[in-house]
Structure 1
Amino acid sequence: MELVKKADQPAFVCIYRRYWSELYRCAFRIFPNQHTCEELVHDVFLYLWNKGRDTDIRSLKDYLYIAVKNRALNRIRAENNLLTEVDDHALNATSSLQAEERVNCLEINRIYDQALSELPERCRTIMIMSRHEHLSNKEIAARLDIAPKTVENQITIALRHIRTRLGEYLVTLLLFSLLI
């Protein structure tokens, strides 16, 4: 670390090679998105290179792990805030809808979230990766080390369960999606 503080590039490269994959795995456990985790780890190393000489680091390994963990948690907070803003914007955009229709929309979201939470863990994970992270079946299969057909089956099970839970709200959901 003393060499990094003196802007010694070979020392920095050595640290980068030694810790990159461990830090990536640490980030992926918190925020399971390949591109985002690569970005988070890259940011930590960039900060270390640019500001490391001004930082009192007692344990390099601890510092790197804490930095990656904090960046991952900050990214989760930022995305949650963005989702809240999008939800608020969607509610404001539908202000011309009657109050009953807005309540129905909130109820549909609540039922969807509840149905998603009722799924078995692997099925829920696959559904989230497919519908929320927009990963292909092949990408999901590769990440989870399962067959693409298993991914398809799990998505089918999840969709069937969600449709069943939504039941009477499916028509409302269809109409709402046409209005927005």
Structure 2
Amino acid sequence: MKQLPDTALLERMQAYNDKAAFDELYRRYWEQLYIAAYARLQQDADAKDCLQEVFVSLWNKRRELQIQGPLGPYLHVALKYRILNHLRSNHNYQKHLDLFAAVPPAVFSRADDRLVLAEIQQIIQQTINAMPEKMREIYILSRQEQLSVREMADQLGVSQQTVKNQVSTALKRLKDALARFK
């Protein structure tokens, strides 16, 4: 199979669920993608996780893909976006952990309180992840980067009113998601 071009291997995956074709594509691209992921993340486990997600997605979406030519450029772009999502997710998660770390331990001393805390953190992260891209970006700039409305508007090339509306909507979504913990 090594002599088959990427398009032929992809066709075999699509038409016949050919795992051997997938394995060959994996062997062709794994090392170069790993090097690219590691260069950006500087963590072996994170690089491998992102890479695994890219290849799992390739297999799961094999029937929908319309790729002409080599698969490399597609995989590199997929990896780039996976790494960005990973960095965004870890950044948000760490910021929320930092917020809760400021709470005295006695407040969350009971086991059920710690479970509630973990559930709240999960709801916050899921709510942020579910926001439309621009809203999520504005929320992060506002609450985590602590930029002013003017700074965000200038950086994103949108009006200040748009920024205010997006922040307000994002906060309302978080408030609604956390309403049961009042």
TM-score using structure 1 length: 0.49
TM-score using structure 2 length: 0.48
